[in-house]
């Protein structure tokens, strides 16, 4: 603590020269002038350190003792910053360094959203902006409880949300509502029927009476698992549940153009620059109109980021324009087949409840200015479909004789 006081008040280091420098030290003590760091350099020379405010009195005391005092160095706050008086810009910068963090921390500069899996972050940010939480918003006006209530009303998929503000950063913590699985009404009598014609490869029945077996060919709509079970004593009913897989075949006819338009870059490039501050944009390029010809536009943004990962809504935008020309290119058969195969594979997977494509056969031929691609996909997929049973239709309970009839 004493060293801090010394630094603030300032110190002076003196060299005392004389035939008897001890008399000068005694004189300083008589004048109640405090000093420290006493160093004997030789028999006629001592060095001491004292407070800068005592320097004039110390020099007078040393002279009265018939000795000579010389100032060796000055230390302390005043000595360190004495040159700043001639540089007001530095004082302004120091003042700004103290004030700006305090002022800037009152505004929102970053918004961090976490905990969302199915809800898009952009949707959350859009709703937050409508309730007053956005880049540049005045922090003290953000009331966490009010924001929470409004966001829960605006996004029904949310189960819980927390809004925490720390300086210029707002942290949004989300918990999404868990969708309840479909509840099966066990009192409802349902059968399992084939959703597609195929060759049965796997049968797993959880409830109901099985009406098919592995290796059997079934037709679309055919009864696979019955919700009825007729015994000699009574009639039992259930909500049939099963997973039944079968090999199926899908046939597609796809027409692919025999010519396609492709880009060929000329090597000509143009760059434009801009500064974005929040939602404001300042263009630096003199050319801001629409370019003549065909260009691909590539945009990159470099945000102002402080140590620690704090990102400000200030970024340098670089727009790169690549000129290109278009030309017509002939499509070969192999390319047409790959294009058609990718499309039908995606369509087949979207149509399946569960399963996979086992193998594919492809044939193609030219048809005018098109290439006709014939594809047959062999798949293994789950064909079981639940269907409400009707006792008075063909899916009702079977008699013993009907059961024994192949």
Which pLDDT band holds residue 115 (cuts at 50, 70, 90)? confident
What percent of the chain shows pLDDT beyond 90? 1
List CB contacts of 60: < 8 A, sequence separation 6 or more.
Answer: none
pTM of the predicted model, to two decimals?
Answer: 0.49
Q: What is the pLDDT of residue 181?
A: 61
Out of 236-240, 325-329, 339-343, pick the least confident.
236-240
Structure tokens at 93: 């910068």
Q: Which of 123, 203, 111 minimizes the C-alpha distance to 158?
A: 123
**Quick count: other Cβ atoms within 10 Å of Cβ 385?**
16
Burial 54-91 (b: 16+ CB within 10 A, else e): bbeebbebbeebebebeeeeeebeeeeeeeeeeeeeee
What average pLDDT does range 88-114 have in this prediction?
73
CA distance 15 to 57: 15
Residue that the structure tokens 């003792």 belong to: 65
List, for residues 353-366, the tens digit of each pLDDT value.
888 888 988 888 88
How big is the chain by its Cα radius of gyration, in Å? 44
Q: What pLDDT is attached to residue 403?
A: 43
Q: State the pLDDT confidence band at 406, using cuts at 50, 70 and 90.
A: very low
194-212 burial, b at 16+ Cβ within 10 Å, e below that, comes to bbbebebeebebeebbebb
Over residues 305-324, the pLDDT tens digits come to 766 666 677 888 998 889 88
pLDDT of the residue at 90: 62
Domains of the chain in sequence order: 2-80 (3.30.70.260), 253-259+331-383 (no CATH), 260-329 (no CATH)
Going by C-alpha positions, the residue among 171, 226, 145 that lies closest to residue 193 is 226
**Residue of 347, 339, 369 whose CA lies nearest to 251:** 347
Q: Alpha-carbon distance 33 to 50, whole Å?
A: 8
Polymer length of the chain: 406
Q: What are 198's two structure tokens?
A: 């195929």
Greater confidence (125 vs 103) lies with 125
Mean of the per-residue pLDDT values of the chain: 81
Tokens of 251: 């046939």
Q: How confident is the model over 23-67, as pLDDT tens digits?
A: 888 888 888 888 888 888 888 888 999 888 888 888 988 888 888
Give pLDDT tens digits for 215-228: 888 898 888 888 77
pLDDT in tens, 372-390: 888 898 999 998 888 877 6
**Joined tokens for residue 158:** 């949310």
Residue 393: predicted pLDDT: 54
């Amino acid at each position: 603590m004493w060293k801090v006081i010394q630094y603030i008040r300032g110190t002076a280091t003196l060299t005392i020269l004389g035939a008897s420098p001890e008399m000068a030290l005694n004189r300083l003590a008589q004048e109640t002038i405090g000093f420290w760091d006493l160093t004997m350099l030789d028999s006629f020379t001592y060095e001491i350190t004292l407070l800068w405010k005592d320097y004039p009195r110390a020099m007078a005391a040393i002279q009265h003792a018939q000795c000579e005092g010389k100032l060796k160095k000055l230390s302390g706050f005043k000595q360190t910053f004495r040159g700043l008086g001639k540089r007001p810009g530095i004082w302004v910068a120091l003042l700004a360094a103290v004030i700006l963090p305090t002022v800037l921390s009152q505004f929102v500069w970053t918004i961090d959203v976490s905990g969302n899996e199915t809800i898009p972050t952009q949707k959350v940010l859009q709703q937050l902006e409508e309730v007053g939480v956005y880049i540049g918003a005045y922090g003290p006006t953000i009331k966490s409880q009010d924001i929470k209530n409004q966001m829960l009303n605006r996004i029904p998929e949310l189960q819980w949300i927390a809004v925490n503000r720390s300086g210029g950063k707002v942290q949004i913590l989300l918990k999404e509502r868990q969708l309840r699985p479909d509840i099966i009404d066990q009192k409802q009598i349902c059968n399992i029927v084939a959703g597609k014609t195929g060759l049965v490869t796997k049968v797993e029945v959880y409830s109901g009476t099985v009406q098919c077996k592995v290796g059997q060919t079934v037709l679309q709509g055919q009864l696979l698992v019955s919700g009825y079970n007729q015994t000699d004593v009574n009639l039992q009913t259930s909500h049939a549940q099963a997973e039944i897989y079968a090999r199926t075949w899908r046939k597609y006819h796809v027409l692919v153009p025999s010519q396609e338009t492709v880009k060929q870059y000329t090597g000509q490039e143009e760059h434009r620059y801009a500064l974005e501050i929040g939602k404001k944009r300042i263009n630096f390029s003199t050319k801001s109109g629409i370019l003549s010809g065909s260009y691909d536009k590539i945009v990159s943004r470099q945000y102002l980021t402080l140590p620690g990962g704090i990102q400000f809504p200030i970024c340098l935008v670089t727009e790169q324009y690549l000129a290109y020309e278009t030309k017509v290119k002939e499509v070969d058969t192999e390319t047409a087949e790959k294009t058609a195969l990718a499309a039908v594979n995606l369509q087949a997977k979207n149509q399946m409840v569960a399963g996979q494509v086992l193998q594919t056969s492809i044939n193609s031929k030219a048809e005018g200015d098109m290439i006709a691609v014939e594809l047959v996909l062999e798949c293994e997929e789950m064909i079981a479909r639940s269907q409400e049973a009707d006792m008075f239709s063909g899916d009702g309970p079977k008699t013993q004789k009907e059961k024994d009839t192949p």
